[in-house]
Amino acid sequence: MTLDRTILMFAGAMVLLSVVLTTFVSPYFVWFTVFIGVNLIQSSITGLCPAASIFRKLGVKNGCAFK
């Protein structure tokens, strides 16, 4: 799996996790969802993604989006 697909899967999993936490634990977890959205927007504008750096260090091969 390439880095691009790994990042998309990770972001989707975090959004689903935040929805579950908001529903079953506390409505304040909606701020986790907001953080994820802001991070996705920031990554699309700047090209910098903290998760991509971590996954790259873990040995996930590069795709075409995150270089």
pLDDT digits (tens, 9 = 90+) for 17-64: 999 999 999 999 999 999 999 999 999 899 889 999 999 999 999 888
Confidence band (pLDDT; 50, 70, 90) for 67? Answer: low
What are the residue ranges spanned by the domains of the chain?
3-57
> Is residue 1 within 8 Å of 63, Cβ to Cβ?
no
CA distance 53 to 48: 9
CA distance 7 to 51: 7
CA distance 4 to 55: 10
> Is residue 66 within 8 Å of 52, Cβ to Cβ?
yes
